[in-house]
Amino acid sequence: MESIIPIIIQLVSGAVGGNIAGAIKSLSLGSTGNSIAGGLGGLLIGQGMNFLLSSTGQAMLTGVLGQVVGSGVAGILVTAIIGFIRNAMNKK
């Protein structure tokens, strides 16, 4: 049970970050799209950072606050990138 809590934190924080990025109308994927893109970005990048930091012996992003901030920022970035790419493809 303890191993699923960080995953839930990363998904929720990423989804919140995705909806923050979606507030910019030109990058919005819709509320569901923002949540999915942000949640997946928060989970994937959050898990990657945890793996990288644990393999190097550094514990910079440990704790709930580090996971919330890291996954939220990852959700913002992933949603913004996907929204930018989608808008660039639709303008052709």
> Domain coordinates of the chain in residue numbers?
5-84
Per the CB < 8 A criterion, the answer to whether 29 and 89 are in contact is no
Supply the mean pLDDT for the chain: 85
Distance CA 16, CA 64 (A): 15
Per the CB < 8 A criterion, the answer to whether 39 and 75 are in contact is yes
pLDDT of residue 11: 95
pLDDT of residue 62: 59
Indicate the pTM of the whole model: 0.83
pLDDT of residue 40: 95
Whether residue 59 is predicted with pLDDT greater than 60 in this model: the reply is no
Phi-psi region of 63 (alpha: psi -120 to 50; beta: other; left: phi over 0): left
Whether residue 14 is predicted with pLDDT greater than 90 in this model: the reply is yes
